[in-house]
Amino acid sequence: MEQLFSDPFIWFDAWLAEASATEMIDPNAMCLSTVGDDGMPSSRMVLLKGRDPNGFVFYTNLQSQKGHQLLEHGKACLNFFWRDQGRQIRIQGVAELVDDATADEYFASRARGSQIGAWASAQSRPLASREEMILRTNRLEEEYEGRSVPRPSHWSGFRLVPTSIEFWQAGEFRLHDRFVFTKDEDAWKVSRLNP
């Protein structure tokens, strides 16, 4: 395997670029795991929408289950799995809200239907019928006809600031190659793990 770098973001960017160069659907799809008040983990698939020097950014309804859990507990884990490449990246860290300007900019870049959907969906809460959602969506489309759709105050982004990033490369006879970067003060240290 290639020589280990001192920066896990170099590895992440390279592996994501390789996955993105294939015909794979949503190579930026990741499993987001959060923790509830009862200590039970909860996982769901979300899409990575950005990566900056501080972490990994995704967006959601703040009133959803994941939104509540992230705001309340702040700890989360992301997991990327690219089967065809035989690769996985697991990222643990602390979630922080992105600033309003960042959330506004991303919201404005979304398809209009997705913007309306952010208003229409009371994400994670019970829904009496599909028709109720369709009626709510139609009303909102009429309300915002001919004008831009503002970002709802209950919709924003989180940045997962990593404390550890583990890379896994499938190996023959289950002799996988695993290495983990852990944050030590302001520097990353890397170590290999048994498969």
What is the DSSP annotation of 80-105?
Answer: EEEGGGTEEEEEEEEEEEPPHHHHHH
Q: How many domains does the chain have?
A: 1
Domain assignment of residue 134, yes or no: no
Q: Quick check: is 77 in a domain? A: yes
Domain housing 164: 8-97+156-193
| Residue found by looking up tokens 């309340």 in the block | 72
Q: Per the structure block, which two tokens stand in for 40?
A: 């039970």
Asked whether the whole model's pTM tops 0.95, one would answer no
Please determine, for residue 2, whether its predicted confidence score (pLDDT) is greater than 60.
Answer: no
Interval 103-113: pLDDT, tens: 999 999 999 99
Share of the chain above pLDDT 90, in %: 84
Q: Which of 90, 130, 174, 192 is catalytic?
A: 174
Q: Is residue 45 a contact partner of residue 51, using CB atoms and an 8 Å limit?
A: no
What does the alpha-carbon distance between residue 169 and residue 155 come to, in Å, rounded to a whole number? 35
Q: Is residue 76 part of a domain?
A: yes
How far apart, in whole angstroms, are the C-alpha atoms of residue 45 and residue 43? 7
Q: Is residue 63 part of a domain?
A: yes
* 80-96 pLDDT, tens digit each: 999 999 999 999 999 99
Confidence at 173, pLDDT banded by 50, 70, 90 = confident
Mean pLDDT over 47-52 rounds to 97
What is the distance of C-alpha 11 from the center of its chain? 18
Is 174 annotated as catalytic? yes
Residue 114 lies in a domain: no
Q: Is 1 contained in some domain?
A: no
CATH number at 73 reads 2.30.110.10
The reply to whether 189 falls in a domain is yes
Q: Are 6 and 188 in contact (CB under 8 A)?
A: yes
Across 36-132, the runs of DSSP E, i.e. the strands, are 41-47, 50-52, 55-61, 75-82, 87-97
